[in-house]
Each structure stands twice: as C-alpha cells, then as structure tokens.
C-alpha cells in the first residue's frame, strides 16, 4: 500500500538524487572541458629519464617532441574522467539510498501527529465523544488542525448531550399528560351513554393536558435554542421589552384578580437578543401571575445600578425556602409546596441560561410567606469599562408589604 509516508520518502530521495546528478554532471562537463585545453606546440624539449631513485631527470643534449607529452596527458585525462564517472555514480547510488532512508524517517516524524489524529478519530464513536486529541508541540499547522478538531468534538459532544437530554426530558415529562388524556378518553368511550357534564369534564381535562404538553414542548425547544450560540447581538431597550411582556399578561392578571404594577425606568440598554430577553422576563412574570394569590400585586420594574441593567419581577406569593434558592434554577425542579402543577419545570432553568448567555445572571430574594423577587442582571451597554465586575448583591426592588387576603379571597 502506497502510504503518504512512502510517497514522501520516495519524493525526498528522488529530489536529492536529481540535484546530485545535476551537480555531478556539471562538474564532469566543466572538468572535461578544462582538461582538454589547447594542445601543446610541437617544439623540441630536452629528453628526460628516470634515475636510480625513481625520479625524472633531463638528459643533457637530448631532445624529443611535445607530441609525446600530449599522448601521456590524454591518457591521464581519460583515466581521471573515467574514475570520476565511476565514483560519481557510486556516490549518487549511495546518496539515493541514504535519501530514501532519511526521507522515510523524516516523513515518519512529520506524520506522527496525523497518525495520532487518525487513531483518536477511530476510537471515537457516536455514543462516546469524550476522547480528545490534545496534541502537544509547536503551534504549527498540524497543531492548529488538532485544536480545531477538538473544538468541533466539544461542540458535537455538547449537541449530542443536549439532544439526549431533551429526548429524555420529553419522554419523561410527556408521559403524565398523555396518561391523563388516555384515561379520560377511555373512560368516556367505555360508557354507552355519556353524560354531557362528564363529556365536558373530560374535554376540559384533555384540553388542559394538551396545553401542558404544548407548554412543555415550547420550553424544551427554548431550552435547546438557548443551549446553542445562536443569539442576535443588538442593542435592546430592557424597559420596552418588559413593557411588551406586561401588556401580554395584563388580561391574565386581571382575570386572576391581580394588580399588575409597572415601574419601568427608561434608559437601560442591553446587548443581546430581544426575543431571548423577552422570554426570560416572560417566564418570570408567568410564574408570578400563576402563583400570586388573588387580590395581591405583581410588580415589574427595571433600571440601572453601578454599570449593570436590571429587570425585576416581584410577587406576594408563597415564597421560596432559602435552601431551594439555587435548586429552583435546575431543570424540572419540584418544590415542596405543590406549586409545580400546570408548568413544565423548565422556566427558571431557561431564565438562567438566557442570563448567562448575555454575560449576566439571575438572583432570587425570597422567604416563605413573604413573596419572591427575581432579578435579572445584565451589563449596561452604556456603562464605562471600569464598571463593577459583578452585579450588586442586594435586590434593587425593595420587598413589598406582606399580603393579607381578605375573607374569602382566592376561592
């Protein structure tokens, strides 16, 4: 099998062989032209002989022709060029073999990171994306390739984890409303003569269960979208967003006998996605309208403080125990007060995801029996660079008065 390593080694050796052959040929041609210079003039010179010590001496009064010297010179030149050809061919052959071995070794070292990337890719399966290449060494092209693949694996792992979590959450949470729908439909179908009131009751239960399923699916989709970096980055007027959400819930609050108070100071500008920010305020206000007792007040406010924009929703509902302040932001958290009926349990988890995606946070200030205040904090777009690194710890909206329901209220 002709691997890249083999082809690189042959290429290295062939290039080295070609360069060496060109150099040797050029040297041979130049030397050959130099040795075959202009011939000697045919003049008479003193004759020479070899003495007893093996040295050449000129015999006095003796002469011979220059042509004799030319014959000797030509023989020596021919022999020298022949030896040069032989040695050159031997050197080129040795150089070719050495280049092949050296090229094989160098290509092996150069392709070692590629082999590591290939081995890691083979070990990765669709159900296990935890392996990473983690290539060390200089910051060259192969290191950049490995880092890019690691980043891609991180995104794939996160996407698959989100997919598995959504499928698991959906299959778990949809079982209850589906069971309710099936039980009521089977109960109605089992009767020969269905009482209209029973049919109306079953229809109401089915509609309520399907509404719960719809809200659950919407929350799951919102949670999946928030888990992916697909936000639109633009200047958002937080007061306008809160005002629009309040308009949507004005009728629902009125139907439940609630007073919806607005304290929306103009000016807070946040960099982010207006739909996501509206979703966060919507989830908070939805919980407040759902949990607040009839006759109480729900307050929505926003403003700026120490370089941070904030939006708060305050209710006079049952409140939240201190040990649950952190757990309420986990997915499908069910409190001990029996207040989870009718919602998916994803709302506050989505609120936290949205806040953190906008470099902000969400805080809760609540005690049992005193209502709750949820505060969204975001960096102020217009604030200077030296703003406080963290939002203020206290609630910007003071707690409201304790709610004492009138006799018969909330029935």
Closest of 19, 7, 69 to residue 44, by C-alpha: 69
pLDDT at 65 over 60: no
Question: Looking at residue 125, what DSSP letter applies?
Answer: B
Using DSSP, state whether 155 is helix, strand or coil. Answer: helix
**What does the pLDDT look like over 73-108, one tens digit per residue?**
677 777 877 888 888 888 888 888 888 888 888 888
Using DSSP, state whether 192 is helix, strand or coil. Answer: coil
Given CA atoms 286, 291, 296, 301 in this order, what sign does their dihedral have? negative
**What does the pLDDT look like over 319-368, one tens digit per residue?**
888 888 888 887 766 665 444 444 556 778 888 888 988 889 999 998 88
Inter-CA distances, 30 with 75, 91, 268, 409, Å:
18, 19, 85, 115
pTM of the full structure: 0.54
- In DSSP terms, which residues pair with 261 in a beta bridge? 299
At a CB cut-off of 8 Å and minimum separation 6, what does 241 contact?
Answer: 274, 277, 278, 281, 311
Closest of 368, 358, 365, 362 to residue 391, by C-alpha: 362
More confident residue, 291 or 59: 291
Closest of 365, 215, 194, 380 to residue 283, by C-alpha: 215
CA dihedral 343, 349, 355, 359 (to 10 degrees): -170
User: Confidence class of residue 402 from pLDDT cuts 50, 70 and 90?
Assistant: low
Residue ranges with strand state E in 51-111 = 56-65
Radius of gyration of the chain (CA): 45
More confident residue, 264 or 2: 264
């Amino acid at each position: 099998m002709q691997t890249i390593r083999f082809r690189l080694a042959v290429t290295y050796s062939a290039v080295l062989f070609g360069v060496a052959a060109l150099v040797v040929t050029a040297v041979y041609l130049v030397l050959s032209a130099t040795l075959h210079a202009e011939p000697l003039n045919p003049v008479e010179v003193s004759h020479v002989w070899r003495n007893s010590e093996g040295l050449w001496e000129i015999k006095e009064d003796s002469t011979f022709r220059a042509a004799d010297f030319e014959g000797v010179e030509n023989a020596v030149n021919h022999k020298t060029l022949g030896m040069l050809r032989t040695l050159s061919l031997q050197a080129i052959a040795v150089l070719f073999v050495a280049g092949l071995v050296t090229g094989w070794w160098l290509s092996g070292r150069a392709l070692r990171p590629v082999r590591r990337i290939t081995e890691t890719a083979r070990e990765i399966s669709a159900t296990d994306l935890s392996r990473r290449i983690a290539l060390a060494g200089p910051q060259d092209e192969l290191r950049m390739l490995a880092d890019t693949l690691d980043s891609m694996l991180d995104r794939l792992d996160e996407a698959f984890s989100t997919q598995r979590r959504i499928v698991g959450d959906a299959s778990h949470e949809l079982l209850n409303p589906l069971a309710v729908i099936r039980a009521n439909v089977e109960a109605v179908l089992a009767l020969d003569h269905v009482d209209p009131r029973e049919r109306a009751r079953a229809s109401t239960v089915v509609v309520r269960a399907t509404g719960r399923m719809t809200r659950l699916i919407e929350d799951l989709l919102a949670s999946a979208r928030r888990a992916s970096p697909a936000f639109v980055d633009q200047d958002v007027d937080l007061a306008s967003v809160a005002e629009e959400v309040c308009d949507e819930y004005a009728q629902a609050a009125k139907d439940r006998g609630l007073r919806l108070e607005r304290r929306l100071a103009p000016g807070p500008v946040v960099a982010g996605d207006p739909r996501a920010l509206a979703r966060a305020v919507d989830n908070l206000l939805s919980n407040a309208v759902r949990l607040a007792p009839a006759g109480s007040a729900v307050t929505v406010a926003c403003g700026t403080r120490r370089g941070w924009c904030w939006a708060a929703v305050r209710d006079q509902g049952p409140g939240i125990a201190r040990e649950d302040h952190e757990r309420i932001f986990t997915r499908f958290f069910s409190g001990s007060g029996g207040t989870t009926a009718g919602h998916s349990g994803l709302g506050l988890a989505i609120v936290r995801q949205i806040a953190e995606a906008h470099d902000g946070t969400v805080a809760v200030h609540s005690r049992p029996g005193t209502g709750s205040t949820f505060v969204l904090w975001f960096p102020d777009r217009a604030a200077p660079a030296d703003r406080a690194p963290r939002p203020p710890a206290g609630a910007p909206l003071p707690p409201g008065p304790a709610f004492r329901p009138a006799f018969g209220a909330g029935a």
